[in-house]
Structure 1
Amino acid sequence: MDPTTLRLDEASARRLVLVRAIDDVDTEGRLLSSVERDRLEQEALEASRESSPPSSLDRASYLQQRAHRLLAAVEHRHPQLTALEQPGAWRRWLAWLLPLAACVLGAAIDRIDNPQRVNMLSPPLLAVLLWNLLAYAGLVVAWFLPRRWAEASPLAALQQWLAREPRIGARPGRLRRDVLARFQQQWLRTTGPQQVLWGKQVLHATAAGWAVGLALSIALGGVVREYRVGWESTLLELHQVHTFLSVLFAPVVALLPLEGFSLADLQRMRFSSGAAIGVEEARRWVGLYLGLLLLVVVLPRAVLAAVAGWRARRLGRAVAFDLRDPYFVQVLARVSPARVTVGVLAFDEDARVLLLQAMRQAAGRVPPTRLEAPWTVLATPKGDALRLFDIPLGTRPPTPVAPALASGPSPARAWLQDLMGRFRSSAPAPRGDALTSALQEADLVLLLPAQPEDLQAASRLLHWLDRPALVLVGGGDEGADELAAYRAAVRRAALPADVLALRDCTGNWSRDALLLDAITGRLPQGKRAGFARMAEVWNERNVQRLDDAMQLVADLLLQAARDTEAAGGSLSLKRLVSTGDREAGQRLRQAAQDAMVLRLREAEATHLAELMRMYGVDEALPTAPAALTGERFTVQAPLDSPQAGMAGAATGAAMGAGIDLVTGGLTLGAATALGAMLGGGAAYVAAAWRNRGGSAGTAQVQLSDEMMQSLAEAALLRYLAVVHRSRGGPGLAAATPPAWRSEVVAAVEGARESFAEFWRQVRASGDAASLRQPLAAKLNALVRQVLARL
C-alpha cells in the first residue's frame, strides 16, 4: 500500500473534504477558534491512538476522528454547513430523469419522415445510428490515447472548469456560500475520475433512452398509420443501395430471426418503379430498424452505462487522497512529532563559535566541543526535536572530481560540475557510521564560509546530499557588497541556498527570529509545523530569560531606591553655630555616602554576575558602574525637637513683645507669654512631624532621583552588553557602542516620571515586593524598544 495515499469510502471522503473547506474558509475563527481547534485535534489524536501504538500515528484514523469532531462542533453553530456532508439527492434524480426525458422526447417525435412515404434511407434515423457509431469509435480511440490527452476530453475539461478556484471572502457574511464553493471545488478535484464516470453513465443512459424513444415512436406510428416504405436516390444506384442496406442490417439479420431486403425487393420498392408496395415490406422495415436500434444503440449504451456506474461506485468505495498535499501535510504536522536535523559545514571557525553560542542559549546548556553525532538543541512536549551536527571539511561525495573541473570556476565547468554532482550514489561514502547516518537524516545544511570561494568547494558535497542550505556569512559587520559577492558565488555554484549575515540573525536573542524563519522556509513542508513548535519553545525561553533579567534589574533598582545610611545626629542650633560640629556632620554624611556607594557597587557586581550566568557568558567583564555625577544623594536630617521648640518659643515671645510695646504695656506681658507658648508648641510639633519614620535623632542619606536615573541607564547598558557579548559582540565600558548609550538614555529619560513614581512609592512604603513586577514590566518594554532600534 502506498503510504502517501489515503483511501476512504465516499461518506468519509465527503466529511474530510467538508472539513478542509471549512479550514480553508474559516481563517478568522468564526466557526472554531484556534484554541478549540487545538483541543479537538488533541482529542482526535488520543482517540486515533487507542487502536495503534502510542509512538505511531494512524493517519487515516486521525483524519477521520478530527473530521468527525470538528463537524460535530460546527453543527451546533451552523447546521446548514454540516448538511453538505450528505450527498445531494439531485444526482440520483438527474440520473433517472435525463434518460426518461430523452425517451419521452424521442417517443414524442410522431414521424421519422413523411409517414405516407417513408424513405428507407431516412436521414434522421441514419444520423442517430451514425452519431452512436462515432461515439463508440471515440471511446475506442480514447482507450489507446496517452493519459494527458484523455484528460483534455470535453467531460474532463468541464470538470476542470467546475473545479476552478472560487472567490473566497469577496463579501462578508457569505460563510456558507464560501464553504459550499470551496467544498464543490475540492470535491470535484478529489473525485474527478468518479465524476467523469458518473457523467458518462448519465450520457450513455440518456443515449439509450433516446433510442428507446425513437423505437417507440416508430412502433406507435405503425399502430395508428400505414407506412409506405420505399427508397429513392439521385446519386445511388440499386446495387449500391442494396449493398448499403445489407451492411446496415447485417447485425440484425445475424442475431435476430429477421430477413433483409433482396435486390428484387429493392427494385420493386423503388418509388419510381410504380409497383405496389405492401404492408409486409413496411413491417419488415420496422422490425429491422427496431432491431438495429436495439443492437447498435440501446444494448451497447446500457452496457456502457452499467460499466461506468460500476466503476464510479468502485471508485466511491476508495476515494484517494494524496497525503503529500500541503493541506494534509500541515494538518498531520500539527500532531506529528518532527525531528529536524541540521548539519553545520564550517569553513570559518569563529562563525561556528558564534552559531554555537546562539544554540547554547536556546538549549540552556553547553554543547560538546565537536558535534560528531547529532546533538539535541531543544525539544517540545509533543516530541519534536532540533538536532545539530558538524560536517567535517574533509567530507567528500563518492563521485570523483575530474581534474578539468577542479582547475577553474568558469561558468561552463561550474555547470558541468553541478550536473555531475547531481548523480548521487546509493550509499554515502563519508567517514564514520555516525556521520553517514546523520547525513542521511539531515534536512538542512548551515554553510559558514570564510570566503566566497568556499561555496564552490562545498558545492559538490551539497549537490550530492541534495539538501537545501543557508549560507551564514562571517562574524563581523558584513556590508552589502560582501553579501552580494557571496550571493553571486551561490549562483555560480548553482546552490539552493539563501545568504544571510550571521550577525543579522544571531547578534542577540531578539534577532533569532530571522534565523528561525530562514530555516523554516528551507525545511520540507511536513516538518515546518513541528519546527514552528520548536521555534515557539526557542522564543519562549528567550522571553523567559528576558523576564528573569528584568526582575533582577528591578530588584537592584528598588533596593537602591529605598537604601539609606545614617549620617550623624539631628540638626540643632549648636550645629548651626559651631564650626566643629558642622565639619563633623559633613564627615559623617560623606562616610554614609561612601558606604552606600560600596553597597551599590557590590550589588551591581552581583547583578552582572547573575546576568552573565543567565546568558552563558564565561569571560570576565567589567561592571560598568553607574556614573556618579551631579546631585547624587539627598540628606534627610531630623530636627532636635526641644531645641526647635525653644527657638519657636523665642520667636513667638519676640513677636508678642512687639505687640506689648505697641499697646503701651496694657497687655501686662500676656502677648509675650502667649506668643512664646504658641511659637514653641508649633515648632515642636512641626519638628516631630518632619522626623516621623526616621531613626530618632539621626540624619539619613539616600540616592537622589537623578542618581536613580543613572543607575537605571547603567543597568540596561549592562544587560545590552551581556546579551551581545553572549553572541560574540562588544563588551562593556569603553567598548560599548555610542548608539547603545544614546538609545538607552533616550528610553530611560522618556520614562522619567514613571520611574520617579516607583522611587517615591518604595521609599514611602518600603514594600519592594509589590512594585517588583510592574517595574520589571516597564523595564521589559524599554529593552524591547531599544533592541528593536539597534
Structure 2
Amino acid sequence: MAFFNFGSRTDLSSPFTEEQARLLTWTKVLEEEAVKRRKITISELKEVTARCAREVGEQADFKKLLLTRAEGVLDLLRSKSAVSLKKPQGIPYLLIGSVFAVLAFVGGVLTNEFSVTNNRINLLSPPLLGVIAWNLIVYCWIAIAVLFNRGKSPVGLIRRFFAGALLKLQTRGSHGQQALITFYSKWTEAEMPLLRGRIAEILHFSAALFGLGLIASIGIHGWGTEYTVGWESTWLSDKPSAVLTFINLFYGMIPVNSDLFNQLTPQVIESMNFGSGHGQNAAPWLLQLFYIISLVVVVPRILLGLYALAKTQYIENHFPVDLESVYYSNILRQWRGQTMLIQIIPFSYPLTEKVKDGIQKFASELHPENSRCIFSAAQHEDTKLPEIPAGEQTEVVAVFAMTSTPETEVQGRFIAELKEKAQASKALLRIVVDTSGFLARFANTPQRIAERKKNWSNFLTPYGVSFAFVNLTDADSKDAAAQFEQA
C-alpha cells in the first residue's frame, strides 16, 4: 500500500523521522490496548485531540498535531496508570557496528598470520585468495541482483540472517508484555528497510576494515621481517605453466606493475616453488597485493558503505507512516471537522437488511468520528459504475461475497475500473470480502475456509488496494482495521 497518499491532500505534513514514527506507533498500540481494556474512553481521546488541535493552532500541519497528540495521549495514559512500564528499545547499531569493526580489523590481522609461514608468503595461500575471491563474488552477486531487481537493492542471505537475528534480539526484550509484543509485530515490517540498510552499512565498512587490517599486518611485519614470496601446491607442483597463468590472472588484475609480470616465465615460476627454490624478495609482490586489496576490497566496500549510509539516513528522515490507515484517518477527520462519507458498492451481491445493518455497525465502529454510509445498488459485469461524490472526505468500500470465485475478467476488471474512478474523485478505496455466507456453509471445514481466503488474497494483492475479510453479520472492526493496515 502507498504511504502518505491522500490525493490532493499530500501537503498534510512534512516527513517523519524514525524516532517520530516509533513514538506514533507506540502511542497507537498503547491507546488501542487501553481502550480495549476500558482504561480510557473514546470521549477522553477526543478531548485530547481537540486540546492538542487548539495548542498547535490552525496553521500547523498534520505531523505537528500527531506528535503533540501522541504526547497528550501518553500523559493521559500515565494519569490512568495504563502505560506499560517498559518502553520499546531501538537496536544499538553504533555498538553493534563498533564491535563488528574491531572484529573485522583483528580478523584481517589474523588472516595475514595464517597466510605466512616462516616469513614465506605463498601466492596460492587460500586465506589471501579467499579474501579477494569472496569480495569479487559479493560484487557479482550485487550486480546480478540489482539487474534482475530492476535497480532495487538486493537483500542477500547474510543480510537476511542478521536482520532476523537482530529482530529476535529486539523482541525478546518484551518479557511477555502484550503492548510490547503488539508493538514489535507492527514495527518490524516498517523498520525492515532501515534495518537491512544499516546491516549493509555495517557489513561493508567491516569488510573494508578487514582489508585494512590485512594490509596493516603485512606492512608492519615487513618493516622488521624479510619476507620471501613463492608458491607451493600439492596439485600444481609439476605444472608451473598453470601457476603462471593463475598468478597473471589473479595478481595481475590490477595492472600497476607491468615489469613485475613481464619477467615471469614458467622457468621463473618454477624457481619460485618453495619445494625446489628459495622464492623471491617479497617487496614488489607485497606492493601489488596492497594495490589489489585496496582497489578490490577497501575502496569498493567504503563506497558501498557510504551508499548504504546515505540510504539509511534518507529513510531515517523520511520514515513511512501509513496516514491512510483508519486510525490516522479518524484523527484527521476530527481535526478538520469533516464527515466521512462511506459509499458501499457491492458486486454481484445484493445486500440483505441484516448485512446492511452489519455494515452500518462495522463502519461506525471503524470510523467513530462523523461518518455516514450510503449504499449503491449491486453492480454486475456490464453495469455502469455509480458516481462517487466529491467535496467530502470519501471512502469507497467494494463488497464481495467470499462464496464467489474471483476472476480477472470479472471481479478484476471491476476493481481496476473502480480504483481508477476513486482516484479521480480523490477517494480512498478499500475492499471487504464478506465471509458470512461461506462460514455458514462450511463452518465445519476450516481448511476449505482457509483455502478460499488464500485464493481471494492472492487474487486481490496485485491490485494494490487494502482489503479485509469480514463477517458482516458479526463484524470485528478492530480485526478488520488490522487487516486493512497489513494489506
| 1:628-643 pair list within 5 angstroms | none
Distance of aligned partners of 1:196 and 1:424 in 2 relative to their CA distance in 1, 3 Å threshold: closer
Structure 1 pair 117/73, CA: closer, same or farther in 2 (3 Å)? same
1:399-453 C-alpha deviation (Å, 9 max, x unpaired): 9xxxxxxxxxxxxxx989996576459999xxxxxxx99xx9999xxxxxxxxxx
> Do structure 1's residue 155 and structure 2's residue 139 form an aligned pair?
no
Query: Cα deviations across residues 630-680 of structure 1 (Å, max 9, x unaligned)?
Result: xxxxxxxxxxxxxxxxxxxxxxxxxxxxxxxxxxxxxxxxxxxxxxxxxxx
CA-based RMSD = 5.6
1: CA distance, partners of 2:5 / 2:207: 39
Partners of 2:407 and 2:198 lie apart in 1 by: 52
Deviation at 1:103, TM superposition (A): 0.7
Distance 1:187 1:341 in 2: 31
Write out per-residue CA displacement over residues 204-258 of structure 1, whole angstroms, 9 at most, x where no aligned residue.
Answer: 111111221122222222233322322233433222222211222224333x698
Deviation at 1:384, TM superposition (A): 2.4
2:286 aligned partner? 286
Give how far 1:132 is off.
1.3
Tell me the residue number matched to 1:337: 339
Residue 259 of structure 1: aligned partner: 260
Q: Alpha-carbon deviations, 1:513-572, whole Å to 9, x = none? A: xxx97496799968xxxxxxxxxxxxxxxxxxxxxxxxxxxxxxxxxxxxxxxxxxxxxx
Distance 1:421 1:179 in 2: 39
Work out the number of aligned pairs and report it.
Answer: 403
Shift of 1:146: 4.0
Structural mapping, 1:269-668, within 5 Å = 269-274=272-277, 277=279, 281-325=281-325, 328=328, 337-341=339-343, 384-386=370-372, 397-398=383-384, 420=410, 423-424=413-414, 518=473
SS in structure 1 opposite 2:255? Answer: helix
Counterpart contact for 2:251–2:292, Cα < 8 Å:
yes
Shift in Å at residue 143 of structure 1? Answer: 0.9
Could you give the per-residue CA deviations for residues 129-175 of structure 1, whole angstroms, max 9, x where no partner exists? 1111111111112112348995674423653576589999x98xx64
CA 1:24/1:441 → structure 2, altered by over 3 Å: closer, same or farther? closer
Paired position in structure 1 for 2:243: 241
Give the drift of 1:126.
Answer: 0.8
Structure 1: which amino acid aligns with 2:17? D
Q: Is 1:223 the equivalent of 2:223?
A: yes
Amino acid of the residue matched to residue 229 of structure 1?
A: V
C-alpha separation between the residues in 2 aligned to 1:163 and 1:24? 23
* Higher deviation after alignment, 32-41 or 312-321: 32-41
Secondary structure class of the residue paired with 1:253: coil
Shift, 1:318, TM fit: 0.5
Unaligned 5+ segments in structure 2 are 347-351, 386-403, 441-455, 457-470, 482-487
Change (3 A) 1:315 1:94: same
The answer as to whether partners of 1:198 and 1:308 remain within 8 angstroms in 2 is yes
Q: Identify the structure with bigger relative contact order (alpha carbons < 8 Å, sequence gap 6+).
A: 2
Query: Structure 1 524/114 Cα, relative in aligned 2: closer, same or farther at 3 Å?
Result: closer
Query: Hey, what's the Cα distance between the residues in 2 that align with 1:423 and 1:64?
Result: 40
Kept after mapping to 2: 8 A contact 1:117/1:228: yes
Q: Report the AA paired with residue 312 of structure 1.
A: T
Tell me which amino acid in the other structure corresponds to 2:95: W
Amino acid in the other structure paired with 1:240? A
- Counterpart of 2:264, as a letter, is S
Task: Structure 1: give runs of 5+ residues left out of the alignment.
Answer: 53-57, 345-350, 363-377, 400-413, 429-435, 444-465, 472-479, 481-495, 497-515, 527-790
Match for residue 128 of structure 1 among 124, 128, 131: 131
Does the aligned pair in 2 maintain the 1:470–1:519 contact within 8 Å?
no
Please report the TM-score for the alignment, with normalisation by the length of structure 1.
0.41
Letter in 1 for 2:69: R
Q: Does 1:67 align with 2:53?
A: no
- Structure 1 partner of 2:118: 115
CA change 1:199–1:469 in 2 (3 A) is closer
Supply the distance in 2 between the matched residues of 1:191 and 1:220 (Cα, whole angstroms): 43
Partner of 1:214: 214
User: In the superposition, relative to structure 1, how do residues 35 and 166 fare at CA in structure 2: closer, same or farther (>3 Å)?
Assistant: farther
Residue 30 (structure 1) shift: 8.7
Structure 2 CA distance for aligned equivalents of residues 423 and 221 of structure 1: 72
Residue 285 of structure 1: CA displacement? 1.9
Secondary structure of 1:51 counterpart: coil
- Would you say 1:96 and 2:106 are equivalent positions? no
Give the 3-state SS of the residue equivalent to 1:320 in structure 2.
Answer: coil
| TM value normalised by structure 2 | 0.63
Question: Residues 105 and 213 of structure 2 are in contact (CA less than 8 Å); yes or no, is this contact kept in structure 1?
Answer: yes
Q: Which amino acid aligns with 2:272?
A: M
SS of equivalent residue, structure 1 residue 241: helix
- SS where residue 321 of structure 2 aligns? strand
The answer to whether 1:139 aligns with 2:145 is no
Q: Deviations over 1:40-83 (max 9, x none)?
A: 2332344566126xxxxx64444323223224455776999586
Structure 1 letter corresponding to 2:26:
L
Provide the rounded CA distance (Å) in 2 between the counterparts of 1:93 and 1:418.
51
**Aligned partner of 1:13: which letter?**
A
SS across alignment from 2:116: coil
Q: Which amino acid aligns with 1:397?
A: T
SS in 1 for 2:305: helix
Alignment partner of 1:14 is 2:22: yes
Percent of residue pairs identical: 20
Aligned residue type for 2:147 = F
Alpha-carbon offset, residue 13 of structure 1: 1.7
Displacement, 1:326? 5.5
Distance in 1 separating the partners of 2:248 and 2:95: 41
- The secondary structure found in structure 2 opposite 1:229 is strand
Counterpart Cα distance in 1 of 2:426 and 2:340: 12
Letter in 2 for 1:156: R
CA contact (8 A) 1:198 1:309 kept: yes
* Rounded Cα–Cα distance in structure 2 between residues aligned with 1:343 and 1:217: 72
Letter in 2 for 1:137: C
Classify 1:114/1:31 alpha carbon distance in 2 versus 1 (closer, same or farther; 3 Å).
Answer: farther
Candidates 264, 271, 277, aligned match of 1:268: 271
CA 1:41 to 1:134, structure 2 compared with 1: closer, same or farther past 3 Å? same
Shift of 1:195: 0.9
Answering whether residue 50 of structure 2 is matched by residue 42 of structure 1, we say yes
Deviations 1:263-306 (A, max 9, x none): 254243223444x545xx21122222222111111111111111
* Matching of residue 190 in structure 1 with residue 190 in structure 2: yes
Aligned partners of 2:56, 2:232: CA distance in 1, in Å? 76
2:160 partner amino acid = A
Q: Give 2:31's match in structure 1, choosing from 23, 32, 35.
A: 23
Q: Is the 8 A contact 2:194 2:315 kept in 1?
A: yes
Q: Which residue of 1 aligns with 2:395?
A: none
Cα pair 1:341 1:442 within 8 Å, conserved: no
Report how far residue 262 of structure 1 moved.
1.8
- Contact residue 230 and residue 271 of structure 1 kept, 8 A: yes
